[in-house]
Amino acid sequence: MSAPVRGPALGAPARDAGASGVAPVLPAARRTAPAPGRLLVRYGLFLLLAALALGFAVLRPSFASAGNVADMLRSGGISAVMLLGLTFIVAAGEIDVSFMSVAALSTMVVAGLVSSGAGWGLAAAAALGTGLLFGLANGGLVALLGLPALVTTIATGGFAGSVAAAIGKGTSIPLAGSGVLGTVVRAEVGPVPALAVAAAALYAAAWWLQDRTTFGHYVYAMEQNRRALVEAGVPATRLLFILYALSGTLSAGAGVLLAADLSSGQPYVGASYFIDGLTAVLLGGMALKMGKPNVIGTAVGILLLAVLLSGAALLGWTDWQRQIVRGALLIGGVAAVVWTRRSGRAVHESV
Amino acid sequence: MTSPFRPGPRLLRVLAFLVLLALVAGTFQLLVPGYLGAEHLHALLRHMAVQGLAALGLTFVIVVRQFDLSFPGVASLGAMTLGWLIAGEHDVSTAVAGSLAVGFACGLVNGVAVAGFRLPDIVATIATGGVAVGLSYLYSNGTSISDNFFGSGILDFNDARVAGLDMPAAVLLAAAAAAALLLHGTRFGRAFYATGENRVSARFSGVRVRLYVAAAFALSGTLACLATTLLVASSGASNVTVGNQLLMPAYAAVYLGAALFGRASVAATLAGTLLMSAMLDGFTLMAVPYYYSDAIVSLVLVGAIALFDPRTLAAAARLRIPAARPREVLP
Amino acid sequence: MPPLLRMTGIEKRFGPVTALDGVDFTLEAGQIHALLGVNGAGKSTLVKILSGVYTADAGEILLDGAPVALGSPRAAMAAGVAAVQQHPELVPDLSGVENIFLGHEGRRPGLFARIDRTAMQAAAERLLARFPVEIDLDRPVGEMPAVDREIVAVLHALRAEHTRILILDEPTSTLTEREKASLFAMMRALRAAGIAIVYITHRLEEVFEVADSFTVFRGGRNVASFTAAEAEARGVSIPELMLAEKAGELFPPRDGRPEGEAPVLAAENLGLAGCFSGGSFALRRGEILGIFGLVGSGVDELSKALFGALRHDEGRLLVKGRERRFSGPHEALRAGVFLVPGDRRTEGLTLTEDVVFNTTVANLGRASALGLLRFGRNRREAARLARETGLHPPALDRPASAFSGGNQQKIVIAKGLFRDADVYIFTEPTVGVDIGARAKIYGLMRALSRRAGVIVVSSDCDEVHGLADRTLALYKGRPVTAAPNRDGLLAAGIMGRAA
């Protein structure tokens, strides 16, 4: 019970007791020497990704072909845009299960407008606006009114899904071409799709926001103790509202890209992103930050699932086999995080 | 205190529900003359049976203040198990029992994960639901199963009549009666509510809270599989997507009922289901496409959540004339 | 020159209870001023008014001789009053520095400001230069010992340069002896830096170590103020001042002590790592055993261990002669042990449910036949128990949340009566209970002791002394045998001295 008070001599270079100050403040990743189990959780996902990619490449050389890698990166780039907002929302301790329906709605808005003669620019702007609207609605209901996030976003997601279906009267809307955006989506910078480069740039900016600004700082603090934030005068409600608005807009952005990539509007495309999205975010949370969703983790999670999808297809795995692996990964990952975090801190818990 | 001159809040709530129901029914009767006809009422009850069973199971989970997102996946797995057993020429009662057992087992897995290992309920049930959907492809690689359905007697679950009721309605009624007895008439129901309302004080009162959380998930899985049994019986085939349509209506029914009656209960869930089905069937009768009616379900759900929220309730209570009650004494 | 702070004629009422009845309080710059008094004496309420949490119903607050309105915590902070709560809100994964400057990390305020770690570092060093304390501020506070968390909370409160008054509410309740010494060192450093400290504590043995002036509260009034020198010169007895003559008729008369009967509950060297150890006592039917201990002394844990809500890891626990290791409260209840928990709103009651539900929920076996609830009988039983406990109003359909503290406690007791246990443990039975309901509750406890063994566990020395047939003090997790008089018990409980 009595941990010794750690004097300055132990913690920092020798200094005049009290008069000078504290040891240099290092970024959040320091701490005491981590146990091997924690290290494994922290970097295990990177290893898993490397091992899977290597394994598939050895078993099926076509896995490592330029075309396949570019395909994986392109689809991964779209997922990355869709999941960025969700990453921050889950990191802040809330949830959004409407993101994939908003993306699907966005593909339908684009397709509906383009097929009735509007330009791609206008269509994309309208889709983004729709996404923002859903984000604002979620933010208003969850952050401002304080309604439970899960059921609320189930409902708004359901609404987005039905509007998407209504736009196409229940079916998809094929497009003749994919306009300027199609060129952009299919452009390549050397061997790498431009889309993946753009997503990487977006994630780099998001990483900066996450680790270098008050924004990310408060997101993680909010998950742990929202009252402490409120008492310190941080506008926590506004922060959560912004997160939902961001998630809605980015999901719609991903939908725009998807519409260009598929040259069509797909009202039911969301379903496939639901479990994959949450798996990527939650599994990604294991990487680096011990169970806290973070942008690099999400990126790794997305790549892991893309590799799994492509490699499994090349190996002839069926869809359901992959689905079981994915579900097992998700629950295993969450269990690993819950247990390492629980053992990491002495929690005085009753029987 | 309830004075003899004022109706109690419970009666008021029932009245409000009846008025709402009459409003919905009246509107549709005006729009589609056949709405209140016997033929449509049969269809309504049938429709209500499937949604109602799934919502009943979810009610237990909501009463213990957890979430279950796995029951649509579990229901699909149950339906495929049912189809596979029937196609394998097993007795229909064996097949249904097998399906329910699968639902029970999946629910138990959820319960152990959430109550035993203390994993977060939302993530854990998303994962188990995903695995359940994956497993449902095991039987036939994802194609629908309808072999041997005609001879097996499974269709009786849709076609037969019991005591003047269509079989699906009879199943719902029986399940609802059993659930109501369990939740409102037995010591176990008390324990479910005690667990949900204040877990610490429930534990201090000798309630084994983890057991009841696990039981709620198990009931949810089982009843979701019973719901798809009816669905399979009415469509004459099992397929891997049957569960998908259960999620939203179930949550909408439970939350709508809770908003109407002040808390989640069997009667509230049935009332919520009835209202939802009355609307949805009305739209179907008017040949409104499903995507419009789905949109309405979502909006009803948002409204119900907002109404069910304690803060909304507190705000509404403040509008009432304050009764002479002792103010709470601060320590 | 006017004093730094003067509060005059402060009154505060909560419903029917008067918490402060015309209190005067003066604080000089550079003082460490201890507020002393038993539970409910009014010190916490006064401090909450000073920090802007409550607003006084009447009275005046002068800062430097000028009247101020402290209508909100923010206003109080702007006026230079900072408070550290008993359980400060911190973010466990953030470092000490990050917690101190929570909300002020950026070069400018707002959600999208770049975090300036160099500036935070420099500000932290400035803070430590003003208030020299030995602490490693780079660790996450979740991994810090309790005293460092307290210091972080203090530094957080002091980060604004104009702060002149610091309120510390029971800062030592969870600290060890060594940790306390470093907290006191910090308090002296703050005093040297010109900060006036208002310091609330229950622990009399430590006040002379650090405080230089004192105000004693009793029953919502300030009954005495003096400096340390005056106390020494005049030989002031603080316990005497703290305890009123209120006792007397509040407590029911004692019965004759039972002799010879086998104990219904016995503990032999009972211990729980980090909480208490060496707990040995025996309880017979027909008596009330009192255990006196301050917050953090292990009494709460001890009572929960007897009930199976915590599992002891040393010694033996015997119920009616049989050794037990409860795996949870359900087993303790089955063995005949009932706990009236200290935190009745979270541990004792289901606030949203009605009286019948709450009365019967701890004995669902008796409330049902073949699993089916016996509605009519339960209602009659609840009505009978409501009469027996004097529940007012006896409205069985009303949710537990709608009753006052004393009546909520009566519901918990009714719940215990419905259980028909052999051992009843009451933890802090009258916290938040007004004086009228207290006498009734004490009477109920005495009546219960005629057919069962009763243990009362409390941080209120008067209560334990006035009620119990035999007493025991718990000091830092260890039982101390006390002399059978009140002062002996008080000394044992707050100073660990067997008298």
Distance separating alpha carbons of residues B76 and B71, to the nearest angstrom = 8
Strands C276-283 and C265-272: antiparallel
Distance between CA atoms of residues A141 and A138, nearest Å = 5
Measured between beta carbons, the chain B residues lying within 8 angstroms of C346 are 198, 200-201
Residue C109: helix, strand or coil by DSSP?
Answer: coil
Q: How far, in Å, are A308, B23, B235, B282, C384 from residue B289 at the CA level? A: 38, 22, 19, 11, 59
Given C17, C332, C339, which is nearest B329 (Cβ)? C17
Report chain A's mean pLDDT, rounded to a whole number: 83
Domain holding A182, by residue range, is: 37-339
β C423-427/C17-27 pair status: unpaired
Q: What is the 3-state secondary structure (H, E, C) of C49-98?
A: HHCCCCCCCEEEEEECCEECCCCCHHHHHHCCEEEECCCCCCCCCCEHHH
Site of tokens 């798996």: A279
Do the two domains C5-242 and C248-495 of this chain adopt the same fold? yes
More confident residue, C496 or B200: B200
Cβ partners under 8 Å of residue A117, min gap 6: none
Of B136, B127, B134, B144, which Cα lies nearest the Cα of B102?
B136
Whether residue A95 lies within 8 A of chain B, CB to CB, comes out as: yes
Summarize pLDDT for C321-358 with one digit per residue, the tens: 999 999 999 999 999 999 999 888 889 999 999 999 99
Q: How many domains does chain B have?
A: 1
Residue C338 main-chain phi, psi, to 5 deg? -125, 140
**Which residues of chain C neighbour A337 with C-beta distances below 8 Å?**
none
Backbone angles phi, psi at B266, to 5 degrees: -65, -45
Which residues are CB-neighbours of C170 under 8 A, at least 6 positions away?
C86, C200, C201, C202, C295
Q: Is the bond into C393 cis (omega within 30 degrees of 0)?
A: yes
Residues C54 and C73 sit within 8 Å (Cβ to Cβ): no
- Chain A residue with CA closest to B293: the answer is A162
Cα angle for residues C302, C305, C309 (degrees, 5° grid) = 130
Q: Where are the domains of chain C?
A: 5-242, 248-495
- Residues of chain A contacting C308 with CB distance shorter than 8 Å: 351
**Span B16-36, mean pLDDT?**
89
The mean per-residue pLDDT over the stretch B182-201 comes to 95
* Nearest beta carbon to residue B328 from set C346, C395, C404: C404
pLDDT digit string, tens, across residues C116-173 = 899 999 999 888 888 777 788 999 998 888 888 888 998 998 887 788 999 998 887 6
The span from the CA of C275 to the CA of C256, in Å, is: 34
The beta-carbon neighbor of A351 closest among C106, C115, C310 is: C310
Q: Is A184 buried (19+), middle (13-18) or exposed (0-12) by CB count in 10 A?
A: middle
Write the CB contacts of A293 (distance below 8 Å, at least 6 apart in sequence).
A87, A88, A90, A91, A281, A282, A284, A285
Name all chains with 3 or more CB-CB pairs below 8 Å to chain B: A, C
pLDDT of residue A240 exceeding 70, the answer is yes
Please indicate whether, in this complex, the C-beta atoms of A232 and C102 are within 8 angstroms of each other: yes
Per residue in B269-289, pLDDT (tens digit) is 999 999 988 988 888 888 888
Could you tell me the pLDDT band of residue B312, with boundaries at 50, 70 and 90? low
Mean pLDDT of B258-264: 86
Say if B214 falls within a structural domain.
yes
- Considering the domain boundaries, does residue A15 fall inside one? no
Q: Is residue A30 situated within a structural domain?
A: no
Nearest to C329 among B186, B198, B203 (CB): B203
Mean pLDDT for chain C?
Answer: 87
Ramachandran category for residue B236: left, alpha or beta (phi over 0 → left; psi -120 to 50 → alpha): left
Q: How far is it, in rounded angstroms, from Cα B9 to Cα B209?
A: 30
User: C147 is written with which tokens?
Assistant: 């005293």
In A, which residues are within 8 Å of C327 by CB distance?
Answer: 351
B128 contact A CB<8A: yes
Q: How confident is the model at residue B244 (pLDDT cuts 50, 70, 90)?
A: confident
Give chain B's mean pLDDT: 86
Find tokens 């306009």 and name the residue: A179
Q: In this predicted model, which residue has the larger pLDDT, C17 or C385? A: C385
Query: Is the pLDDT reported for residue A291 higher than 90?
Result: no
Q: The domain spanning residue B139 has which CATH number?
A: 1.10.3470
- Answer yes or no: do C115 and A5 touch at CB < 8 A: no
- For B144, the domain range is 34-309
CA dist., res. B117 & res. C112, Å (int): 38
Which chain A residue is nearest to residue C156, measuring alpha carbons? A232
A13 domain residue, yes or no? no
Which pLDDT value is given to residue C259?
A: 65
Token pair 């179930």 in the structure block, residue: B250
Number of H helices and number of E strands within chain C? 17, 22
How confident is the model at residue C244, as a pLDDT? 57
pLDDT computed for residue B4 by the predictor: 36
Residues 6+ apart with CB under 8 A from C300: C342, C427, C457
Phi, psi angles (nearest 5°) of residue C61: -120, 125
Average pLDDT of the segment spanning C171-195: 81
What is the distance between the alpha carbons of residues C12 and A344, in angstroms, rounded to a whole number? Answer: 45
Is residue A204 very low, low, confident or very high in pLDDT (cuts 50, 70, 90)? very high
> C15 — contact with chain B (CB < 8 Å)?
yes
What ipTM goes with this model? 0.85
Cβ-nearest to A23 among C106, C138, C328: C138
User: Mind telling me how many Å the CA of C194 is from chain B's nearest CA?
Assistant: 34
Which range has the top average pLDDT, C11-15, C42-46, C331-335? C331-335
Give the whole-angstrom CA distance, residue B181 versus residue C370.
13
What is the per-residue pLDDT for B300? 85
CA–CA–CA angle C44, C49, C51 (5° rounding): 95
- Beta bridge partners of residue B238, listed in sequence order: B145
CA neighbor of C77 nearest in space, from C52, C54, C98, C59: C52
Q: Are A214 and C106 inside 8 Å of each other by CB? A: yes
Q: Which C residues 280-339 touch A at CB under 8 Å?
A: 304, 308-311, 327-328
Dihedral, CA of residue A170, residue A173, residue A174 and residue A177, to nearest 10 = -170
Confidence band for A282, pLDDT divided at 50, 70 and 90: confident
Which has the higher per-residue pLDDT, B132 or C86?
Answer: B132
CATH code of A55's domain: 1.10.3470
CATH superfamily of domain region C5-242: P-loop containing nucleotide triphosphate hydrolases (3.40.50.300)
Residue B305 in contact with residue A151, Cβ under 8 Å? Answer: yes
Architecture of domain C248-495: 3-Layer(aba) Sandwich (3.40)
Across the interface, which of B117, B134, B298 has its CB nearest the CB of A323? Answer: B134
The answer to whether residue B148 scores a pLDDT higher than 50 is yes
Please say if the pLDDT value at position B52 is more than 70: yes
Instruction: List chain A residues with CB under 8 Å of B302.
Output: 141, 152, 155-156, 159
Q: Rounded distance, CA A339 to CA A333, Å?
A: 10
Collect all residues of chain A within an 8 Å Cβ-Cβ radius of residue B252: 155
Containing C196, the helix (H) or strand (E) segment is strand C196-200
CB contact under 8 A, C348 and B201: yes
CB proximity B93 to A under 8 Å: no
- Checking if the pLDDT of A266 tops 50, the result is yes
Residue B215 belongs to some domain of the structure: yes
What's the average model confidence in pLDDT over A302-328? 88
- Indicate if the pLDDT at residue B330 is higher than 50: no
Let me know: does C477 contact C57? Beta carbons within 8 Å.
Answer: no
User: Is A231 in the C-facing interface, judged by CB distances under 8 Å?
Assistant: yes
For residue A96, pLDDT over 90 is answered with yes
d(CA C473, CA C450): 24
Closest CA to C488 of C239, C277, C256, C280: C239
